[in-house]
Amino acid sequence: MHLMYFTEQPMGTYPADEGLKFGATALMFSNKHFDPVSGSRLYNEYIEQYIHAEEMGFDGIMLNEHHNAPFCMQAKANIFAGILAAITKRVKIVMLGNPLPLAEDPVRLAEELAMVDMISKGRLVSGFVRGGGQEQLAAGVSPAYNRERFEEAHDLIVKTWTQQGPFRWEGTHYQQRVVNPWALPLQKPYPRVWIPGVVSRETIIWAAKHRYPYIALNTPVDQTLRVWKLYDDTAAEAGFTSGPEYHGLLKQVHVAETEEKALQNARQFMWMQGEFTGLAHPVWSTPSGYTSPENRRAWVEFSVGRGKEPRPRPTFEQQIANSMIIAGTPKTVIARLKQIMQEVRPGIIGLWGNDGSVSHHDSMTCIRLFGQEVLPAVRDYAKELDLKGPFEAETPVSLDFSTDLAPGRHAAAD
């Protein structure tokens, strides 16, 4: 079992009433509401929390990035990865991950990640994501080419890591006359790649074909089981047997010394869902070309008042009841996590411990209780269920990174 700690690095110090008044806090919500003094304090508190997570026994620290929104201050996950590579000793640095379609130079990204891997002495797990819909607009990247850019950037990065340079790359979206970076990863043939997602069928299939573990981001049990079936069926077609070591689950879990305190802080998970902050305008979050036409049409009709919300948000109470959000004392949290583990059987669990405006003191307490009580119980139960993680099962790194490319879409010329 691989257990990692996660927080979105939220900035809960901006005027939430202004976000509600504007109706969104992503993309177009003015950065005049950003406070660098609070930002500096929060960044340094997050560093303290990550150090504490290693001290308390987590196997990995999960990092991600978002842009133009206060729900995530981490605008470049590789910066925090570089910091953690230097100040931690044992934990895996799990990137979930770098948004490849936003990258204008995948070779430079490959260099950055190679530096992290070397400084950390081989502790990097390099995950890749497509990025949020509104982030395509923020970066000036056409949403219609999101998946093409994702796949081509991935292929170029892996080839950069595994083939001696210099070589030339003439692709559809990227052209490199000389690929010959001096910085290469310590891990061979290249760092492990994990793929996170929110049940996009195409991404699940792509991850399985590449033998990359798939991390379902806070999905309900029934949906998660459908993800594993699709992944496992695709794996069988690709010629390997999948299992817990390829199945990951991120869960929103807050633990405190009393049930009352835990529930009070866990309400902050609704902060990112937009209950009391505003969030993303539905048209910006699903721009034309980013998703299927049917999905896009549903969001547009909802935004102009002609249709129902395509994915209505359950209440906090409903999410507590169905374990979408888990909160309580260690005893309560352990029981809920065991139930999830028995039903879903993941080999990777990300514990999304703190969000919104949860105080630094309460965040540190949550991490401490995880380490002292929750993690040991979860590990013992994982052994009972034979839930091995990728490092225990020694899952291979795939080098077959071009099998599902459309003919003629791009070519990598030696």
The pLDDT of residue 175 is 97
Residues of the chain with pLDDT under 50: 401-414
Q: Cα dist. 65→98, 130, 244 in Å?
A: 7, 11, 26
- Which residue type sits at 57? G
The pLDDT of residue 405 is 35
Closest C-alpha to 243, from 344, 147, 115:
344
Task: Tell me, rounded to whole angstroms, the distance of Cα 329 from its chain centroid.
Answer: 26
Question: Would you list the domain boundaries of the chain?
Answer: 1-59+208-275+313-394, 76-193
The pLDDT of residue 397 is 67
Q: Cα dist. 299→281, 304, 312 in Å?
A: 10, 9, 11
The pLDDT of residue 411 is 37
pTM (2 decimals)?
0.92
Containing 62, the helix (H) or strand (E) segment is strand 60-63
The pLDDT of residue 299 is 64
The pLDDT of residue 305 is 76
For residue 185, say if its preceding peptide bond is cis, omega within 30 degrees of 0.
no
The set of residues, in sequence order, having a beta carbon less than 8 Å from that of 345 and lying 6+ positions away, is: 244, 247, 385, 387
The pLDDT of residue 404 is 39
76-193 CATH, one of 3.40.50.11890, 3.30.70.20, 3.20.20.30, 3.40.462.10: 3.20.20.30
Per CATH, the number for 1-59+208-275+313-394 is 3.20.20
User: What is the rounded CA–CA span in Å between residue 241 and residue 235?
Assistant: 6
* 76-193 matches 1-59+208-275+313-394 in CATH topology: yes
Residues 15-45: tens digit of each pLDDT: 989 998 998 898 999 999 999 999 999 999 9
The pLDDT of residue 399 is 55
Instruction: Please list the alpha-helical segments (H only) found in 88-131.
Output: 106-119
User: What is the rounded CA–CA span in Å between residue 118 and residue 120?
Assistant: 5
Residue 131: both structure tokens together: 């990025």
The set of residues, in sequence order, having a beta carbon less than 8 Å from that of 257 and lying 6+ positions away, is: 329, 365, 369
CB 261 within 8 A of CB 330: no
| Residue 86 exposure: Cα atoms within 13 Å on the Cβ side | 7
Residues 260-298: tens digit of each pLDDT: 999 999 999 998 888 777 787 777 877 877 876 766 677
